[in-house]
Structure 1
Amino acid sequence: MYKSKLIKLLSLLTPEESRMFYKFIRSVFYQNNANVVRLYEYLRKYYPDFPEKKLQKELVFEKLFPGRTYSLNTLAALMSKMVRLLQEFLLILDLRSDQFEREKRLVRIYGQRNQYDLFEKGTRELLDQLVSSETPSLINTIALNHQLYFHPLHNKYDPEDDSLENLMDALDQYFVLEKMRYGIALMSKQKILTHPYKWKLMEAVREGSSDIISPILFQLYTIAFALLEEKRSVNFKSFEKLFFEHIQDLDNRDKSLLYFTGLNYANGQVNAGKTAFSPIALKWYQDGLTNNLLLDNQKMDETTFGNIVTYGCREKEYAWTKNFISFYQVLLEDETREAVVTYNLALLHFSLQEFDKALAILNNYSFPEKDQPKARLTIIRTLFELFLKDQDYYDVLISNIRSFEMVISRNSFFE
């Protein structure tokens, strides 16, 4: 039971949701099996850790059915029932968190049950909400106008009705935007994997859509494609200026796609030896932090964390880099945080030419296998710098070089 789907789903719940679920399963509207309630009463005692020794199936069965012969089928049926209830509970929570989606579904129910007055009024109110929204949802605009125009009781030839025209306008915008968004994502993937793909309609979208979507957005995507295609005529500075001038006006998806296109371009230029892009890349990372663009589910990838430290050290922004490590380390994954922070602190001391401190940090921490190569290599770099000042470090430097060769030869990462 410890690794079961049931325990995985229960682990998703917050403490408040766990209490709410207890009320949920005791509602006769959702289920009337007292054994399901008893199963949850047993399991919730061990939330959120759910220790394996307390979740042995035989033990759980004995707690639920004292004196009865163990039956895997009986327990499995209860677990399946609770999984279905948990799934329904999570769906309800998700729906409750989205007021617009709830209203949209309610309006659709009115339409399906031929309450046309309520349906039409509710649909038009939702469309008005979309028009007044700072970032209107095109897919919702399409769906609502579709269900309004094609409802059997709707007067399709009312001269005042523009639902079909609005649908077509939204559809054009949606198609162009999604084609550009997915096009940028696909082209970025192709640069890494050289994955062949036969483009369809892309040229038509890129060449003939300036009057369909926002001129600023069209211009940004046009330059973004040019950056990915590495056209010589591309002006990165104009892209950078335009993007950050309008960043607050962009939809979150556009903001993210365009940001990472620019950031990856700057990183690529640095990797190609164009060191003038190093301060630019650092500035993009700093702006990404400011605009919350570098987090995924409120977590920061260790590669991103390391890149920021590397650029900060390269540009001698030592105080800023130290503060970054201190402030943002909490956003790293729990299982990798200590190793990532330890290595990057050592890198900071190395850049400050505090070689003794860097060496002490690296030597006193046992890095996981995947981090061994870079940690060992940094130790060698540190020892070399110390050797340049004191030749007594020669033997230990050579010893570490030979040890590094052995690490590389047996490290599964390089197999």
Structure 2
Amino acid sequence: MNNTIDNTKLAGVLKTLDKAGRLAAKRFLESPYFNSSKELLVLYKEILRLQEKNKPLDKVYLWGKIVKGNTYNDLRFRKYCSDLSKLMERFLAQQAFEEDEVQQKVFLLKKISQQEQKADKLANSIVTYSDKMMEDYPYRDTSYYLYQYLLQKSYYELENFSTKRGVKSNIEEISNYLDWFYLGEKLRLITEAESRKQLKSHEYKLSFVSEISYLTKKHFTDLENLPHIEIYYQIIQILSETEADDNYYKLKDLIAKNAHYFPRDVAVDELYGAAQNYCVKKINLGERKFLNELFELFKLQIQQNILLSEGKLSPWYFRNIIVVALRLGEYDWTEEFINEYKSHLPEEHRDNAVTYNLAQLYFYQKKYNLVIQQLQFVEYDDISYNLNSKTILMATYYELDEIEALYSLTDTFRTYLSRQRKLKRLPPSKIEDYLHLIRFIRRLIKFIPGDKNGLSKLKKDVKATKGVVNANWLLEKIAELER
């Protein structure tokens, strides 16, 4: 018999609760409306106490706390755990319900409509309040149209329109909101499936894809001022067409005007994310003007104050913005951006992110001594920072003609990569990409200006080798030696 409940659903759920959640759950269990068992409250408190001390959730010990003086009964103890687990599920559902004011009104209207004696004054008050609430609803994404559909359906049931054949009902509103919800949500799911297909080559069988696209295109002018439909339709165009620049510019314009109608995460990840991915695809095809477009998309998010999520900025996003700005020569802008947003980085990643990105800035500014000051004695916990910082350091030593330091670094870097290979912390292909860089740098520093045949062979090898890290920099240095 397993003597603990550490790996049970109940223990897992309780472990996810933060301080506020634990207090709210305690109040929930103390309410006689939800729970009449004192034993379950004791069991809840004791499990939390043991979890906070990282002690095992011993069954016999817990039994002794809730049923004092009785011999352990496994069947009864499992029943206590099952009952508490169900109450925790109900608590989480109750929390979600209380956070969704619209759904509260929908269920309230439904309950009023089901009663034989309707509370007319209450119903009228709720209808008026719900209408005002939806006027003030901050978003115009699919959730808005779903809520409107549910509320309109509740009004229909409240008025008992099904029995009032001679009275004009709100069936038109019900139908319109349902159509606008369905069409927008379906388009959103199509874009999600297409994005995943392109990223991971996963296939999804969605119904009515061609029909939805046809209907949207046919009625597009009638769907103006419905940004959740317009935007996702344009995303589908840039995902499904090879040359879709016109659709990209339409999408960019729509997002710029309507991003505030969507929750922040949706606006950044889905809407701006789709536009950014299109720019990256075009940049990889050699169309440099889309580097400017990508930078514009980042700046739009800053202007619209949606870059931060709960006051925090992802270190990955922070770095991507800086890379694009540096490639465009926006050095002053980059420095201002680092200084303004570094305090918004998660504290555990802040030092690494700031140190590395400042080093990047100094490298582009050709302040090579400052690069070395930033990176020479830093060993990052994060593998990607380690790889990138060593890459920048190698290029810096080359620019300063510090050949001995460069040889030493290539040796230590190779050892580091070998260690990562043994620990299986990096894919073999990624390790090879960095090893190619090391090999080409060591070949590069052996050349003297004017060795055209050797340099031509090196250039050919760099171009022919797939995935070489910092390949553009290598080609630039080869070109300098060829002059």
Work out whether the TM-score is over 0.5: yes
Q: Any conservation in 2 of the 1:177–1:213 contact (CA below 8 Å)?
A: no
Structure 2 counterparts to residues 162-177 of structure 1, below 5 A: 162-177=169-184
1:101 and 2:103 matched:
yes
Residue of structure 2 in register with 1:275 after alignment? 288
1:154 and 2:161 matched:
yes
Kindly provide the amino acid, as one letter, of the partner of residue 311 in structure 1. V
- Residues 283-312 of structure 1: CA deviation (Å, up to 9, x unaligned): 322332454545667765443233123224
Residue of structure 2 in register with 1:190 after alignment? 197
Kindly provide the amino acid, as one letter, of the partner of residue 207 in structure 1. K
Kindly provide the amino acid, as one letter, of the partner of residue 342 in structure 2. S
Q: Any conservation in 1 of the 2:397–2:405 contact (CA below 8 Å)?
A: yes
Residue of structure 2 in register with 1:399 after alignment? 411
Name the CA distance, whole Å, in 1 between partners of 2:81 and 2:221. 56
Residue of structure 2 in register with 1:128 after alignment? 131
Residue of structure 1 in register with 2:88 after alignment? 86
Residue of structure 1 in register with 2:468 after alignment? none
1:309 and 2:312 matched:
no
Query: 2:213 aligns to what SS in structure 1?
Result: helix
Distance 1:376-1:76 versus aligned 2 partners, 3 A rule: same
Residue of structure 1 in register with 2:336 after alignment? 320
| 1:261 aligned to which of 267, 271, 274 | 274
Name the CA distance, whole Å, in 2 between partners of 1:211 and 1:291. 27
1:208 and 2:218 matched:
yes
The structural deviation recorded for 1:108 is 0.8
1:386 and 2:394 matched:
no
The structural deviation recorded for 1:268 is 2.6
Distance 1:35-1:385 versus aligned 2 partners, 3 A rule: same
Kindly provide the amino acid, as one letter, of the partner of residue 323 in structure 2. T
Residue of structure 1 in register with 2:299 after alignment? 286
Q: Any conservation in 2 of the 1:373–1:408 contact (CA below 8 Å)?
A: no
Residue of structure 1 in register with 2:448 after alignment? none
Q: Any conservation in 2 of the 1:270–1:278 contact (CA below 8 Å)?
A: yes
Name the CA distance, whole Å, in 1 between partners of 2:184 and 2:217. 13
Q: Any conservation in 2 of the 1:358–1:382 contact (CA below 8 Å)?
A: yes
- Residues 222-279 of structure 1: CA deviation (Å, up to 9, x unaligned): 5433332242551644543443234335676874533222222223333333333334
1:178 and 2:190 matched:
no
- Name the Cα RMSD after superposition: 3.8
Distance 1:298-1:112 versus aligned 2 partners, 3 A rule: farther
TM-score, length of structure 2 as denominator length:
0.70
Name the CA distance, whole Å, in 1 between partners of 2:115 and 2:105. 15
Q: Any conservation in 2 of the 1:376–1:404 contact (CA below 8 Å)?
A: no
Name the CA distance, whole Å, in 2 between partners of 1:384 and 1:17. 50
Name the CA distance, whole Å, in 2 between partners of 1:294 and 1:54. 42
Name the CA distance, whole Å, in 2 between partners of 1:148 and 1:241. 37
The structural deviation recorded for 1:28 is 2.9
Q: Any conservation in 2 of the 1:266–1:280 contact (CA below 8 Å)?
A: yes
Q: Any conservation in 2 of the 1:111–1:151 contact (CA below 8 Å)?
A: yes
Kindly provide the amino acid, as one letter, of the partner of residue 51 in structure 1. K
User: Which moves more between the two structures, 115-124 or 23-32?
Assistant: 115-124
Structure number with larger C-alpha Rg: 2
Distance 1:103-1:146 versus aligned 2 partners, 3 A rule: closer
Residue of structure 2 in register with 1:42 after alignment? 46
The structural deviation recorded for 1:88 is 1.9
The structural deviation recorded for 1:414 is 0.9
Structure 2 counterparts to residues 212-223 of structure 1, below 5 A: 212-215=222-225, 217=227, 220-223=231-234
Distance 1:341-1:114 versus aligned 2 partners, 3 A rule: farther
Name the CA distance, whole Å, in 2 between partners of 1:273 and 1:127. 52
Query: 1:28 aligns to what SS in structure 2?
Result: coil
Q: Any conservation in 2 of the 1:184–1:225 contact (CA below 8 Å)?
A: yes
Kindly provide the amino acid, as one letter, of the partner of residue 103 in structure 1. K
1:231 and 2:243 matched:
yes
The structural deviation recorded for 1:168 is 1.7
Name the CA distance, whole Å, in 1 between partners of 2:45 and 2:106. 36
Query: 2:246 aligns to what SS in structure 1?
Result: coil
Distance 1:144-1:313 versus aligned 2 partners, 3 A rule: same
Distance 1:285-1:363 versus aligned 2 partners, 3 A rule: same
Q: Any conservation in 2 of the 1:312–1:320 contact (CA below 8 Å)?
A: no
TM-score, length of structure 1 as denominator length:
0.79
Name the CA distance, whole Å, in 2 between partners of 1:114 and 1:58. 51
Name the CA distance, whole Å, in 1 between partners of 2:11 and 2:372. 44
Name the CA distance, whole Å, in 2 between partners of 1:168 and 1:43. 50
Kindly provide the amino acid, as one letter, of the partner of residue 79 in structure 2. A
* Number of residue pairs aligned between Structure 1 and Structure 2: 408
Name the CA distance, whole Å, in 1 between partners of 2:226 and 2:34. 50
Distance 1:354-1:411 versus aligned 2 partners, 3 A rule: farther
